[in-house]
Amino acid sequence: MKNTMLGLLAVMSAAFVTGCGNSDSNWYPIDGGRVNLSRTTRVTTEMSITILWKETKDMQNLGKERQREFEGPITEENIEAIKKCIREHEKDITGYRGCEASMNLDLFKIRLPCLKEGECQSARDLERMVDAWLIAVEDLFSRL
């Protein structure tokens, strides 16, 4: 699991570092190609994830599955809200579902990696995943 996350960060970092092209253009790598950020008119981000956990604090609902859905742009505030939920239920998290994250450059959609079902072994794995999303987005916006 640790190797998967380290590999994910290494691949994303390498892709971002090699994205520059001509000195008069600002190139960004995308799925086997690249986009000229100097000519990109619209950049947006989006994410959606549902965190699942077993209730252990409310005696009336003890053992019931609970969930919290997060949707919206990938911002520091939204990532911190996800991490807060993960930390509050750290020992009780059973997984997640509906994981999608992307950066959109005009018509190009760059999907950010989500852990596969068997790869998420702990709450810390989820935190690393959403942190990687934020790092990718911050890197993109630093190039604009």
- Burial bucket for residue 139 (CB in 10 Å: 0-12, 13-18, 19+): middle
Quote the CA–CA distance of 22 and 78 in Å, as a whole number.
35
Residue range 19-76, pLDDT digits in tens: 444 455 799 888 788 889 999 999 999 999 999 999 888 888 888 999 999 999 999 9
3-state secondary structure of 103: strand
Nearest to 84 by CA among 70, 74, 73, 98: 70
| pTM of the model as a whole | 0.79
Give me the pLDDT at residue 21, please.
44
For the chain, domain boundaries: 2-142
> Worst-scoring range by mean pLDDT, 59-68, 98-107, 115-124?
115-124
Q: Give the residue with greater pLDDT, 14 vs 80.
A: 80
